[in-house]
Structure 1
Amino acid sequence: MKIRSIKFDKHNIFGDLFFDFCDDFGNPYDNIFLIGENGTGKSLILNLIYQLSRDYLFSLQYNQEPGIEIDIQLENFDRDFIINEIKGHDFKNVSRVIVNLTKSRELKIINDTGEEKVYDLENEKELENISKLFFIDYINADEFAEPPSIDLGRGRKFLNSSSWDLKNKIINNLHDMQVSDDLDLAYWVKNNMGKELDVTKIDYKISRFKNAINSFFSSKKYYGLYETYSHAQKNVYFEESDRKITVNDLSSGEKNIILKSMFMIKKGGSSPVVLLDEPENSMHPLWQMKIVDFYMDLINSGKNQKQLFIATHSPYIFKNHISDTSTFFIMKRDINNKIVFININNKKTGLFPWSPSWGEINYFAYGIVTPELHDELYGYIHEKYISNASDEEDAKKRSGQLYFDSNYLQLKISPEYKWTREYKGVAQESENVTLPTFIRNKMHHPENKIMQKISFTDSELKTSIDKLISFLSD
């Protein structure tokens, strides 16, 4: 099961927005990133998807506005299940189902040729059977947050609720994983009497947890779950620099990662769709760049590729995941405070043939101007200018930077900046150049001692980027 799209009809927040999660060939993306500032509906999208889970389906109020339709692509097992469960059709194959979450108990099935049939799930039994398809894991940032605390002095802290204590959650989850491993091993032995023991069946979940944690943390290694000296309770131990530390000594970010990894391992990869809300919480940038790969390895340990929805504020979360298997929705509010989105993978909205780029997403999602985006724009526009040459001699002239600046950029941008080239430490004649060329030279020639005292501001960088983007709209 993979989600293809979400269609809203008169929604009080999203209006009539349509989110298409498929590539140009109609195949759903494996990874969907929802990017933007606070209050743009990223977490709400995850919550609405989670309503497909069976517990939520039973609590929804139907025959109410607004309408929310979720289009789902089925895997082989799911297709057989639908064919057997839904009666009164002659479809030999079902490739998709469309669930209407709010307007009615309506299920639309679609076969491989695009034929559609609509069914009203009239009784609770039908709804219960169909809802078995929809198992979705929602990993919410709040659920794994460090509890608020007040320092009372002498190292004592008051926690608002012990149920939110990450330490206890980690200990309890490890204990549950060990019990589950022991039961799985006992079941295997019972059903394989006389066979040589398969050592991979021993502590399967615990081993996966240990390997995952040891690979993510460079300086800490998982040691084990042991009773304390008082034997009153258990604690989790780690090794760091040849000494043993407990889970109490870990940072909130470390506890957060450990607990989320336990959650994914305990689930065993049974859910076809996983929702991650703000995975960057309590992490420094290096961890943010690693964490999505870490979670992907955990959830995709089985045979089937899972679909991952990620809502994030962090530009580091998606930096290493700009690929053909990922799509990016930039969510923001327009001048009328209405939520809009940009599908940056769409060739009509992307700036480059290789869109999206990291600098491009940062700019449109957060308004962050980066030297990387400026470099991409300048280089791409220059290459396009060269490619329009009439012949080889013309192309050679166009490849010169000053020729490009004076004969192309200066058609729209005034040459208000001076750049002084340096040859063997000697200043050459200063040249009047446009702001984009000045910034490009400044970034590419830090060795130029003559120009080292002159730089550009973030405001000038933004102005230059906006001017370069205007060339692409011509």
Structure 2
Amino acid sequence: MKIKKLNIKSYRHLEDVNFDFTYPEGHKKEGLPLDKICIIGQSATGKTGILELFKDNISSLSKAKILGNTSNTYLLQYDNSLLDGNVQIEYLCHDGNLITEKNKISKNGTEFQDLPSEVSGTESMLIQEGLKLLYFNADIISKETIDILNQNPLDILSVMSDKRQGNSNANGHSHNSEYIYEFSQAVNVEVWLLLLSKILNYRKAFTQLMSELINKGVIGDLNRLNKEYINWSKVHENPLSAFAEAINPVLDKLGLEVDLVNTEYTVPIRSKITGDIISISNLSTGTKGLLLSLFPLMQLNTDNAIILLDEPERSLFPDIQIDLMSYYQKLAPNAQFITATHSPFIAAAFEPEERFILYFDADGKVAVRKGESPIGDDPNDMLMNDFKVKYYNEFGKEAYKKYLDLKRRIMQEKDQDKKNELLIELTKLGDKYNF
């Protein structure tokens, strides 16, 4: 399922704001939902609110039921208590278009009727393709999550013995074909136990292997030990291998990498400079957020998922922000990404038609416009064209004023020697500020 359109008559402080999230006329995917969407806007324009609107609406749809018989299909259950305001959202599902509002739902142009009394029929879920939603909050780092990742895998396994692995999460979904997960400071611990289960089971099996080899007296025979391990590895693939392959290119910019040998932590991170293993709690804020958002994408089936990212650039250096969206898309190539950002580096990874800029109009109301700069454009051009930010501060403005004055004086100067001196000064100033 993917989002096609959002029409807001009124929602929180937003009024009469409409979004068409489909490819434009002439595009090879004309009319289909955009694969990735970037929502830009200064604080208080409503970027995060729109992500929360999608999250709440999809949560309601995940529980909606219909009752069908030979004559009609009725809306049996639709919990719209999460929704607020006058909003219409259009989705593309596997069997057509679904339009949802606070008090009604229609599919392929036909509105589901309210259920009359004493009507029988077959009960089913409204969405049968398996809803998948991941919402990564800007405040993604929680003490509970870091504490889990800081534990030895065997200690985590002892905790899991008291719980049914993957039994539930905050929304009641428990498997990869259908889920609604929100990653924030209030994330459910059992969600992380589910995500880590493949790695934990691998570590358990590895520990059992070592115990068996010790009992056989193999540990002292390196050749036999290596042979036993190679044979075992053919059947037991390290689940961290694929994650390391995907994330190590971005960790490399931080001088880090996922270590496939260390067994002290569930996701061991090694310094490429010192060779030391670093606990998750000792990583930088940006690196923690990066790992906590990328890891779930590797562990879950993200085909046709909707992934909401709120300020993914937080605490990350620009060199990582530049390629960040490509890392997300490599891990979830068939998902629809909806990103809210303040970063021109993040925004530059989107086509102009994929950017939606929220701004305050002359009347103080929030309006929306499309992007202008081409994908991959210079961040300064992004700031000027899409963000409409005059990015020179008072010192830069004064330097640019002097630069223009020098150009004027050069044109008016008659003495060639003085003209050359002014030209040298102009060149130095232009090189310094890249004018």
Once the two structures are TM-superposed, the CA of residue 176 in structure 1 deviates from its matched residue by: 2.1
Residue 315 of structure 2 aligns with an amino acid whose one-letter code is S
* Contiguous gaps of at least 5 residues in structure 1: 80-93, 110-115, 148-160, 185-196, 345-349, 372-413, 431-446, 462-474
- Counterparts of 2:202 and 2:266 in 1: how far apart (Å)? 18
- Counterparts of 2:145 and 2:426 in 1: how far apart (Å)? 60
User: Could you say what secondary structure the match of 1:316 adopts?
Assistant: helix
Once the two structures are TM-superposed, the CA of residue 200 in structure 1 deviates from its matched residue by: 8.4
Determine the structure 2 residue equivalent to 1:17. 17
Determine the structure 1 residue equivalent to 2:3. 3
- Counterparts of 1:356 and 1:341 in 2: how far apart (Å)? 21
Shift of the 127–322 alpha-carbon distance from structure 1 to 2, 3 Å rule, reads same
Is 2:418 the counterpart of 1:449? no
Aligned residues: 330
Determine the structure 1 residue equivalent to 2:88. 69
Determine the structure 1 residue equivalent to 2:241. 207
User: Could you say what secondary structure the match of 1:130 adopts?
Assistant: coil
Determine the structure 2 residue equivalent to 1:223. 259
1:140-197 CA-partner distances (Å, limit 9, x unpaired)? 221x22x5xxxxxxxxxxxxx545647449976574231466999xxxxxxxxxxxx9
Determine the structure 2 residue equivalent to 1:296. 329
TM superposition score normalised by structure 1: 0.58
Is 2:118 the counterpart of 1:98? no
Residue 211 of structure 1 aligns with an amino acid whose one-letter code is E
TM superposition score normalised by structure 2: 0.62
Is the contact made by 2:311 and 2:342 (CA closer than 8 Å) also made in structure 1?
yes
Is the contact made by 2:358 and 2:369 (CA closer than 8 Å) also made in structure 1?
yes
Shift of the 39–165 alpha-carbon distance from structure 1 to 2, 3 Å rule, reads farther
Is the contact made by 2:256 and 2:272 (CA closer than 8 Å) also made in structure 1?
yes
Shift of the 322–266 alpha-carbon distance from structure 1 to 2, 3 Å rule, reads closer
Is the contact made by 2:62 and 2:131 (CA closer than 8 Å) also made in structure 1?
no
Determine the structure 1 residue equivalent to 2:368. 341
In the TM superposition, 1:56-455 aligns within 5 A as 58=63, 60-61=79-80, 66-74=85-93, 78-79=94-95, 94=96, 96-100=97-101, 102-104=102-104, 106-109=105-108, 116-120=109-113, 122=115, 128-130=125-127, 133-142=130-139, 144-145=140-141, 161-163=143-145, 165=147, 167-168=149-150, 173=192, 175-179=196-200, 202-203=236-237, 205-218=239-252, 219-224=255-260, 226=262, 236-241=268-273, 243-247=275-279, 248-300=281-333, 305-319=334-348, 321-323=349-351, 327-344=354-371, 350=372, 359=380, 361-363=382-384, 366-369=387-390, 418=408, 420=410, 448-452=423-427
1:240-274 CA-partner distances (Å, limit 9, x unpaired)? 22522222442121122122121111113244221
- Counterparts of 1:182 and 1:34 in 2: how far apart (Å)? 41
RMSD of aligned Cα (Å): 4.4
Is 2:28 the counterpart of 1:53? no
- Counterparts of 2:8 and 2:152 in 1: how far apart (Å)? 39
* Contiguous gaps of at least 5 residues in structure 2: 26-30, 64-77, 157-191, 206-230, 393-403
- Counterparts of 1:170 and 1:313 in 2: how far apart (Å)? 37
Once the two structures are TM-superposed, the CA of residue 118 in structure 1 deviates from its matched residue by: 1.6
- Counterparts of 2:39 and 2:319 in 1: how far apart (Å)? 20
Highest relative contact order (Cα 8 Å, sep 6+), 1 or 2?
2
Shift of the 8–181 alpha-carbon distance from structure 1 to 2, 3 Å rule, reads farther
- Counterparts of 1:133 and 1:34 in 2: how far apart (Å)? 26
The equivalent position to 1:31 in structure 2, one of 12, 30, 36, is 36
Shift of the 323–201 alpha-carbon distance from structure 1 to 2, 3 Å rule, reads farther
Shift of the 457–258 alpha-carbon distance from structure 1 to 2, 3 Å rule, reads closer
- Counterparts of 2:235 and 2:366 in 1: how far apart (Å)? 50
